[in-house]
């Protein structure tokens, strides 16, 4: 497109965004469980059996102590990055710490050496001993909820995680496809890090909640489910409950039918307690599944039921995400092909008009040719005068857009949150916080609705202007679809719900702690800022697309006038120039058809190559 002067600013940005989306679009699957439910073993069985050993620490007494994100970034060498737990004593949000790589402890990973890899990843299980006061400051000790506090040792010390967050970057085939695994520790650790429940878990495309098949839903399991995982939406496909350790029910004194009946009862009971469809509960043995894969025991693998879980992850959760990405690609590429097709059709039409003009001059004298040049110059002058009218319309559009940018800007967001921030950061019990919270989100929703109304107004003006220009100048302008704020309104609702749990009576004492309230405010601000920035990016792209389309067709028309006048001038200056020019236009027309065909071939390739194959994920798991 660039080689053939078809790549204007709007189209280039849309192509770049599509490319970035494909390269960076992540499918985050959060594995959530209370301690000792076999979560790390399940991650080993599903994702790392190819190493022939455990990679994540999953042996007795060794478990993930800090939230761990596992993904792949081609720009970063394979490594483990660890954020010290002491950063909780500072006000920065986790998102801000991500922007400060020098504050993380980094350990390089040798992905071809399973032993070194597993040894390095044992770091996520490290703990340290602190005093009760230190544990309280770090968020692991609450006087108001003594039953949730860690056990004191003989010296009165408390064991807490050494690290606040871990990032693992390795080139595993599934991770290279865009999968991100979020491995979360138990209830106490989840509740101590607001950003987990406010940002990471709610934004995960899928959540795998792991229970013990032998214990079923315990009190602490139910607390995690109700406080952090239950959603008000009815999209049960994003929640998968796994009853792990079914091998503990493999009793030599029971028949296979009796064992299966016991497992089925547990599945039914679990579904009833959690209020989800029974088909969203899967019973497996991660440990036996891992052993079966490592020893290549097909019978044991089937008995472990691990392939059932892999199918639910691959075809269900990840497959649907891949389909959404593919649909976005097909839609984006098709739209760009249509817009580029309009420019090519204008060039074709201009060449046809030139051909008709020049063939009409065959056999005519110099006076007729001179008159033709004068007429083209007059058309050009009239067209240039029309540019002032277009400029006036653009001024109105820009005025409305500036209003949209102001509403979605950081200054407005800070102003809207000031009342809530003040209430949350006041000392002692936060009286009236729920009211301030609700009012803040009502104002933010009102702002997004105002943005939608302004976009609709701009769209109406654009459509009317484009219709007028199409009629006057024969353009083929079509106003791009205005951005929809509905998705961002849903995002606001989700953010509001994910924070609401912290504002009840049960969390009043936790919220009274200044450091916890401050972390909550920062996590909330970061999430809302991301939502506003995404909405703003959509509006900017829409505006650029409309402007670029108009610029492209104005530019083509001006070029056409220039080419027509140059053609007449050459005819006037040289005998035989008319026939040469007609032949030249025929060659240009042929070249344009070739460009059109090549673009059709490239876009068709992109569309076909982005249709997801149902076997892709299965192959990678295998």
DSSP 374-422: HHHHHHHHHHHHHHHHHHHHHHHHHHHHHHHHHHHSHHHHHHHHHHHHH
And the tokens for 468?
């007028």
- Please choose, from the candidates 211, 303, 216, 312, the residue with its C-alpha nearest in 3D space to the C-alpha of residue 260: 303
Residue 576, pLDDT score: 56
* Residue tagged 């040792």 (tokens): 153
The series of mean pLDDT values per 10 residues for the chain, 622 residues long, is 81 81 78 85 88 79 76 90 91 82 93 89 90 84 70 86 92 79 72 66 82 88 79 62 92 87 92 90 94 94 92 76 78 83 86 83 75 85 76 78 90 88 74 83 94 92 87 83 90 80 64 72 84 90 83 84 82 69 87 92 82 47 48
Largest distance between two CA atoms of the chain: 112
3-state secondary structure of 486: helix
How confident is the model at residue 614, as a pLDDT? Answer: 42
For residues 157 and 131, the answer to whether their CB atoms sit within 8 Å is yes
Q: Please classify residue 48 by burial: count the beta carbons closer than 10 Å to its beta carbon, then call 0-12 exposed, 13-18 middle and 19+ buried.
A: buried
Query: CB neighbours of 485 closer than 8 A, spacing ≥ 6?
Result: 448, 449, 451, 452, 455, 535
pLDDT at 619: 40
Contact (Cβ atoms closer than 8 angstroms) between residue 121 and residue 57:
yes
Best CA proximity match to 546, nearest among 459, 479, 475, 489: 479
The pLDDT tens digits for 550-607 are: 888 888 888 888 888 887 887 776 655 677 878 888 898 999 999 999 999 998 888 8
CB atoms within 10 A of CB 101: 11
Give pLDDT, residue 574: 61
Query: Which residues fall within 8 angstroms of residue 327, CB to CB, at 6 or more apart?
Result: none
Dist. CA 478–CA 470, nearest whole Å? 9
Half-sphere exposure of 110 (CA within 13 A, CB side): 6
Global pTM value: 0.67
**Residue 249 and residue 191: Cα distance in Å, rounded?**
32
Report the 10 Å Cβ neighbour count for 378: 10
Within 10 angstroms of residue 431's Cβ, the number of other Cβ atoms is 11
List the alpha helices (DSSP H) in 1-113: 9-24, 39-47, 94-98
Tokens found for residue 244: 């792990």
DSSP run (H or E) holding 265: helix 256-274
Number of H helices, E strands in the chain: 23, 11
Considering only CA atoms, which of 570, 573, 572, 594 is closest in space to residue 583? 570
Query: What is the model's pLDDT at position 616?
Result: 44
Radius of gyration of the chain (CA): 32
> What is the rounded average pLDDT for all residues in the chain?
83
Other Cβ atoms closer than 10 A to 94: 23
Kindly give the residue spans of alpha helices, DSSP state H, lying in 77-198.
94-98, 114-121, 132-138, 173-176, 187-192, 194-195
Beta-strand pair 158-161/105-108: unpaired
């Amino acid at each position: 497109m660039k080689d053939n002067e078809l790549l204007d600013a709007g189209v280039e940005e849309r192509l770049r965004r599509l490319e970035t989306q494909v390269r960076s679009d992540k499918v985050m699957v959060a594995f959530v469980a209370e301690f000792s439910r076999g979560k790390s073993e399940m991650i080993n069985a599903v994702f790392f059996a190819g190493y022939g050993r455990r990679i994540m620490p999953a042996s007795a007494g060794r478990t993930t102590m800090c939230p761990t994100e596992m993904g792949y970034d081609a720009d970063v060498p394979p490594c483990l990055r660890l954020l010290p737990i002491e950063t909780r004593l500072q006000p920065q949000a986790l998102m801000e710490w991500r922007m400060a790589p020098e504050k993380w402890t980094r350990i390089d990973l040798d992905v071809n050496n399973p032993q070194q890899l597993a040894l390095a990843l044992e770091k996520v299980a490290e703990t340290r001993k602190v005093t009760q006061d230190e544990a309280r400051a770090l968020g692991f000790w609450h006087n108001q909820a003594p039953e949730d506090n860690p056990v004191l040792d003989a010296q009165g010390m408390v064991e807490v995680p050494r690290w606040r967050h871990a990032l693992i970057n390795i080139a595993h085939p599934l991770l290279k496809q865009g999968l991100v695994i979020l491995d979360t520790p138990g209830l106490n650790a989840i509740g101590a890090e607001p950003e987990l429940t406010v940002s990471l878990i709610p934004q995960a495309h899928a959540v795998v909640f792991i229970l013990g098949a032998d214990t079923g839903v315990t009190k602490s399991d139910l607390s995690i489910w109700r406080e952090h995982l239950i959603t008000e939406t009815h999209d049960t496909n994003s929640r998968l409950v796994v009853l792990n350790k079914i091998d503990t029910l493999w009793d030599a004194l029971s028949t296979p039918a009796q064992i299966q009946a016991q497992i089925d009862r547990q599945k039914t009971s679990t579904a009833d307690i959690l209020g989800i469809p029974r088909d969203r509960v899967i019973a497996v043995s991660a440990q036996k599944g891992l052993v079966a894969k490592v020893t290549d025991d097909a019978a044991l693998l089937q008995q472990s039921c691990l392939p059932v879980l892999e199918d639910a992850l691959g075809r269900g959760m990840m497959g649907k995400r891949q389909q959404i990405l593919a649909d976005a690609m097909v839609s984006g590429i098709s739209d760009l092909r249509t817009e580029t097709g309009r420019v090519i059709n204008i060039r074709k039409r201009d060449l046809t008009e030139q051909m008709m003009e020049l063939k009409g001059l065959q056999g005519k004298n110099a006076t007729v040719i001179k008159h033709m040049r004068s007429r083209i110059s007059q058309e050009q002058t009239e067209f240039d005068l029309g540019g002032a009218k277009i400029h006036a319309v653009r001024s109105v559009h820009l005025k409305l857009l500036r209003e949209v940018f102001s509403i979605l800007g950081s200054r407005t967001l800070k102003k809207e949150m000031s009342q809530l921030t003040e209430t949350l950061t006041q000392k002692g019990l936060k009286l009236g916080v729920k009211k301030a919270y609700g009012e803040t989100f009502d104002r933010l929703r009102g702002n997004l609705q105002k943005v939608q109304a302004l976009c609709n107004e701009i769209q109406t003006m654009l459509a009317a202007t484009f219709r007028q220009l199409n009629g006057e100048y024969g353009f083929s302008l079509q106003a791009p679809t205005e951005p929809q704020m509905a998705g961002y309104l849903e995002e606001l609702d989700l953010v509001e719900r994910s924070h609401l749990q912290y504002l009840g009576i049960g969390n009043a004492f936790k919220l009274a702690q200044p450091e916890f309230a401050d972390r909550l405010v920062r996590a909330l601000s970061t999430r809302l800022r991301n939502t506003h920035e995404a909405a703003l990016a959509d509006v900017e792209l829409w505006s650029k697309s409309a402007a670029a389309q108009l610029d492209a067709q104005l530019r083509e028309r001006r070029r056409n006038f220039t080419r027509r006048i140059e053609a007449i001038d050459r005819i006037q200056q040289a005998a035989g120039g008319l026939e040469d020019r007609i032949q030249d236009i025929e060659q240009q027309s042929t070249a344009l058809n070739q460009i059109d065909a090549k673009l059709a071939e490239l876009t068709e390739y992109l569309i076909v190559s982005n249709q997801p194959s149902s076997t892709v994920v299965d192959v990678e798991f295998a």
